[in-house]
Homo-oligomer: A and B are copies of this chain.
Amino acid sequence: MTPADPLTPERILEATEDVLRRYGPAKATVVDVARALGVSHGSVYRHFRTKAALREAVTARWLTRTEVTLTEIISASTEPAPSKLRHWLATLFESKRHKAGDDPELFATYIVLTGESTVVEEHVRELVGQLREIIEEGVRSGQFAVDDAAVAAQAVFDATARFHDPAYAAEWQNPAIGAEFTAVSDLLLRGLRA
């Protein structure tokens, strides 16, 4: 990519992610981002009005990647709801585990960034909303029986925290974690079934 390319928000966010990975969240500045792009920092501020807004946008983009992958499971798949739910939970776990394992420094950076903003709350709301869709689908097909799909969705999300909450990232490399994930998923699936 050269300075001649149009300066899109997406290019700025990519450069910001690189800068954050290199310098860490404490040191990375908008000037660093502008320098990496070969533009003035004023050009960056035209797209993101504050450093906080830029950091929040890069965090939201990072979280959205997982949401998009998960949405595809809901819309594309013809699986019955129980196996779709299992598939969704496993994909969420894999996505978080990969992010933590493949690039631990960037992951640690994002932990700092998510602590600064409310985008995590929106991310959690989106994920719980997706779970609710799957549970409602299962209720319509007669495979799940729940009193309140929204409550059940929140309960499934809470009960699987060990497999998606970054607080547990250090345990995601344990050899037993896969079996533990299966045991929790089995128990929850049994709890939802009609």
Assess whether A112 is interfacial by the CB under 8 Å rule. no
Q: Is the CB of A184 within 8 A of B167?
A: no
Tell me the A108-163 residues at the B interface (CB within 8 Å). 151-152, 154-156, 158-162
Q: Provide the residues of chain B in CB contact with A186, threshold 8 Å.
A: 155, 191
Q: How far is the CA of A108 from the CA of B158 in the complex (A)?
A: 24
Q: How far is the CA of A84 from the CA of B95 in the complex (A)?
A: 37
Assess whether A188 is interfacial by the CB under 8 Å rule. yes
Number of this chain's copies in the assembly equals 2
Q: Provide the residues of chain B in CB contact with A184, threshold 8 Å.
A: 155, 158-159
Tell me the A150-194 residues at the B interface (CB within 8 Å). 151-152, 154-156, 158-162, 165, 167-168, 179-180, 183-184, 186-192
User: A194 to chain B: closest CB distance in Å?
Assistant: 11
A residues contacting the other copy or chain, number (CB 8 A): 24
A188 touching B159 in the complex, CB below 8 Å, given contacts A151-B183, A183-B151, A183-B152: yes
User: A165 to chain B: closest CB distance in Å?
Assistant: 8
User: A52 to chain B: closest CB distance in Å?
Assistant: 22
User: A161 to chain B: closest CB distance in Å?
Assistant: 5
Q: Is the CB of B180 within 8 A of A187?
A: no
Nearest opposing residue in chain B for A163, CB measure? B158
Where the two chains meet, the residues of A that have a C-beta atom closer than 8 Å to any C-beta of B are 151-152, 154-156, 158-162, 165, 167-168, 179-180, 183-184, 186-192
Identify 13 new A-B residue pairs, CB closer than 8 A, beyond the known A155-B186, A187-B188.
Answer: A152-B183, A155-B183, A155-B187, A156-B187, A158-B180, A159-B187, A159-B188, A167-B167, A187-B192, A188-B188, A190-B191, A190-B192, A191-B191
